[in-house]
Amino acid sequence: MAVSRSLDVNGRVVSIEIDDPEMPLLYALRDNLALHGPRFGCGLGQCGACTVHVDGVAMRSCVLPLSAVAAGQKVVTLEGLGTADKPHPVQQAFIAEQAAQCGYCINGMIMESAAFLAKAKKPSEADIKAALANNLCRCGTHAAILRAVKRAAEA
Ligand code: FES
Ligand code: FES
Protein backbone atom coordinates (compact mmCIF):
# COMPACT_ATOMS: atom_id res chain seq x y z
CA MET A 1 0.00 0.00 0.00
CA ALA A 2 1.38 3.38 -0.97
CA VAL A 3 2.21 5.73 1.86
CA SER A 4 2.85 9.43 1.77
CA ARG A 5 6.32 10.66 2.65
CA SER A 6 7.58 14.22 2.86
CA LEU A 7 11.05 15.29 1.84
CA ASP A 8 12.84 18.63 2.00
CA VAL A 9 14.42 18.94 -1.43
CA ASN A 10 16.12 22.03 -2.81
CA GLY A 11 14.51 24.21 -0.17
CA ARG A 12 10.97 22.95 -0.72
CA VAL A 13 9.03 20.42 1.31
CA VAL A 14 7.42 17.98 -1.10
CA SER A 15 5.18 14.99 -0.58
CA ILE A 16 5.58 11.76 -2.52
CA GLU A 17 3.68 8.49 -2.60
CA ILE A 18 5.88 5.44 -2.11
CA ASP A 19 5.25 1.72 -1.86
CA ASP A 20 8.57 0.81 -0.29
CA PRO A 21 10.26 2.89 2.44
CA GLU A 22 13.53 1.18 1.53
CA MET A 23 13.40 2.60 -1.99
CA PRO A 24 16.63 4.49 -2.77
CA LEU A 25 16.45 8.28 -2.52
CA LEU A 26 17.73 8.44 -6.12
CA TYR A 27 14.53 6.82 -7.43
CA ALA A 28 12.35 9.28 -5.53
CA LEU A 29 14.34 12.22 -6.87
CA ARG A 30 14.35 11.07 -10.48
CA ASP A 31 11.03 9.22 -10.78
CA ASN A 32 8.74 11.00 -8.31
CA LEU A 33 10.19 14.50 -8.48
CA ALA A 34 11.64 14.56 -12.03
CA LEU A 35 14.98 15.83 -10.76
CA HIS A 36 17.34 14.34 -13.31
CA GLY A 37 20.59 16.00 -12.19
CA PRO A 38 21.51 12.96 -10.08
CA ARG A 39 22.30 10.08 -12.45
CA PHE A 40 21.92 6.34 -12.15
CA GLY A 41 25.35 4.87 -12.85
CA CYS A 42 26.40 1.73 -11.00
CA GLY A 43 23.53 1.62 -8.51
CA LEU A 44 26.03 0.21 -6.03
CA GLY A 45 27.53 3.27 -4.36
CA GLN A 46 30.73 2.96 -6.38
CA CYS A 47 30.75 5.55 -9.16
CA GLY A 48 29.35 8.73 -7.60
CA ALA A 49 27.03 9.66 -10.49
CA CYS A 50 24.03 9.81 -8.13
CA THR A 51 25.62 12.11 -5.52
CA VAL A 52 23.41 14.60 -3.68
CA HIS A 53 23.87 16.57 -0.48
CA VAL A 54 22.04 15.57 2.69
CA ASP A 55 22.51 18.30 5.29
CA GLY A 56 25.55 19.44 3.32
CA VAL A 57 27.21 16.02 3.20
CA ALA A 58 27.80 14.35 -0.18
CA MET A 59 25.87 11.06 -0.21
CA ARG A 60 25.34 8.31 -2.77
CA SER A 61 21.60 8.48 -3.30
CA CYS A 62 21.46 5.12 -5.13
CA VAL A 63 22.22 3.26 -1.91
CA LEU A 64 20.53 5.61 0.54
CA PRO A 65 17.09 4.26 1.43
CA LEU A 66 14.34 6.79 1.96
CA SER A 67 13.92 5.34 5.43
CA ALA A 68 17.38 6.70 6.28
CA VAL A 69 16.48 10.29 5.37
CA ALA A 70 14.86 12.00 8.34
CA ALA A 71 11.93 14.35 7.75
CA GLY A 72 13.89 17.49 8.65
CA GLN A 73 17.01 16.68 6.67
CA LYS A 74 17.78 18.95 3.76
CA VAL A 75 18.41 17.23 0.44
CA VAL A 76 20.06 19.30 -2.29
CA THR A 77 20.47 18.10 -5.85
CA LEU A 78 22.39 19.63 -8.75
CA GLU A 79 19.23 21.58 -9.60
CA GLY A 80 19.24 23.19 -6.15
CA LEU A 81 22.93 24.03 -6.07
CA GLY A 82 22.64 26.87 -8.56
CA THR A 83 20.52 28.06 -11.44
CA ALA A 84 21.24 28.72 -15.09
CA ASP A 85 21.24 32.44 -14.29
CA LYS A 86 23.20 32.09 -11.07
CA PRO A 87 25.34 28.96 -11.13
CA HIS A 88 27.21 27.80 -8.04
CA PRO A 89 30.95 28.66 -8.22
CA VAL A 90 31.74 24.99 -8.87
CA GLN A 91 29.22 24.90 -11.72
CA GLN A 92 30.72 28.13 -13.09
CA ALA A 93 34.20 26.63 -12.96
CA PHE A 94 33.09 23.46 -14.78
CA ILE A 95 31.55 25.62 -17.51
CA ALA A 96 34.66 27.82 -17.74
CA GLU A 97 36.97 24.81 -18.03
CA GLN A 98 34.57 22.90 -20.33
CA ALA A 99 35.10 20.00 -17.95
CA ALA A 100 32.55 17.61 -19.39
CA GLN A 101 32.77 15.18 -22.25
CA CYS A 102 29.66 12.97 -22.19
CA GLY A 103 28.68 14.65 -18.93
CA TYR A 104 27.42 11.51 -17.22
CA CYS A 105 29.72 11.80 -14.22
CA ILE A 106 29.44 15.57 -13.92
CA ASN A 107 26.57 15.67 -11.43
CA GLY A 108 28.65 13.61 -9.02
CA MET A 109 31.86 15.52 -9.68
CA ILE A 110 30.14 18.85 -9.02
CA MET A 111 28.17 17.74 -5.96
CA GLU A 112 31.17 16.00 -4.40
CA SER A 113 33.40 19.01 -5.11
CA ALA A 114 30.89 21.53 -3.76
CA ALA A 115 30.52 19.62 -0.47
CA PHE A 116 34.30 19.24 -0.24
CA LEU A 117 35.09 22.91 -0.98
CA ALA A 118 32.50 24.09 1.52
CA LYS A 119 34.74 22.65 4.23
CA ALA A 120 38.24 22.63 2.71
CA LYS A 121 39.76 26.05 2.40
CA LYS A 122 42.79 26.25 0.11
CA PRO A 123 42.99 22.52 -0.68
CA SER A 124 46.08 21.19 -2.45
CA GLU A 125 45.86 19.29 -5.73
CA ALA A 126 46.41 16.09 -3.75
CA ASP A 127 43.50 17.00 -1.44
CA ILE A 128 41.21 17.52 -4.44
CA LYS A 129 42.29 14.25 -6.05
CA ALA A 130 41.65 12.42 -2.78
CA ALA A 131 38.21 14.03 -2.42
CA LEU A 132 37.22 12.88 -5.93
CA ALA A 133 38.95 9.50 -5.80
CA ASN A 134 35.66 7.62 -5.65
CA ASN A 135 33.96 9.57 -8.43
CA LEU A 136 34.49 7.74 -11.68
CA CYS A 137 34.61 9.26 -15.17
CA ARG A 138 34.47 6.82 -18.05
CA CYS A 139 35.53 9.50 -20.54
CA GLY A 140 38.85 10.17 -18.88
CA THR A 141 38.09 13.88 -18.46
CA HIS A 142 39.91 13.98 -15.14
CA ALA A 143 42.48 16.62 -16.10
CA ALA A 144 39.78 19.15 -17.04
CA ILE A 145 37.72 18.24 -13.96
CA LEU A 146 40.74 18.81 -11.74
CA ARG A 147 41.36 22.20 -13.39
CA ALA A 148 37.73 23.14 -12.77
CA VAL A 149 37.80 22.20 -9.10
CA LYS A 150 41.09 24.07 -8.62
CA ARG A 151 39.53 27.12 -10.29
CA ALA A 152 36.51 26.89 -7.98
CA ALA A 153 38.78 26.50 -4.94
CA GLU A 154 40.59 29.70 -5.88
CA ALA A 155 37.41 31.67 -6.67
S1 FES B 1 24.93 5.31 -9.20
FE2 FES B 1 25.23 5.72 -7.13
S3 FES B 1 27.34 5.48 -6.81
FE4 FES B 1 27.02 4.81 -8.86
S1 FES C 1 32.53 13.14 -18.88
FE2 FES C 1 31.79 11.20 -19.51
S3 FES C 1 31.76 10.04 -17.68
FE4 FES C 1 32.80 11.82 -17.15
pLDDT digits over 141-150, tens only?
Answer: 999 999 999 9
Does position 81 have pLDDT exceeding 80, yes or no? yes
For 1, what's the count of Cα atoms within 13 Å in the CB-facing half-sphere?
Answer: 1
Instruction: Supply the mean pLDDT for the chain.
Output: 96
Q: How confident is the model at residue 121, as a pLDDT?
A: 85
Overall CATH class of domain 89-154: mainly alpha
Q: Which fold has domain 3-81?
A: Ubiquitin-like (UB roll) (3.10.20)
Q: Which residues have CB under 6 Å of ligand 2?
A: 100-105, 137-139, 141
Residues of the chain with CATH 1.10.150.120: 89-154
145 Cα–ligand 2 center, Å: 10
* Cα(137) to centroid(ligand 2), Å: 5
Residues of the chain with CATH 3.10.20.30: 3-81
Q: Which of 109, 141, 146 to mutate to test the pocket of ligand 2 (most atoms within 8 A of CB)?
A: 141
Q: Is the dihedral of CA 22, 53, 136, 82 positive or negative?
A: positive
* Closest ligand 2 atom to Cα of 140: 4
pLDDT tens profile 7-35: 999 999 999 999 999 999 999 999 999 99
49-77 average pLDDT score? 97
**How confident is the model at residue 95, as a pLDDT?**
96
Measured from the alpha carbon of residue 106, the closest ligand is 2
- Contacts of residue 60, defined as CB under 8 A and 6 or more positions apart, other chains included, come to 45, 48, 50, 51
**Ligand 2 center to 78 CA (angstroms):** 16
Q: How far is CA 129 from CA 27, 70, 75, 85, 110, in A?
A: 29, 31, 25, 29, 13
0.85 surpassed by pTM = yes
CA distance 9 to 28: 11
In this structure, the chain runs to a length of 155
User: Which ligand gives the minimal distance to the CA of 145?
Assistant: 2
Find the ligand nearest to 39 CA.
1
pLDDT band at 2 (very low <50, low <70, confident <90, very high): confident
CA of 61 to the centre of ligand 1 (A): 7
68 Cβ below 6 A of ligand 1:
no
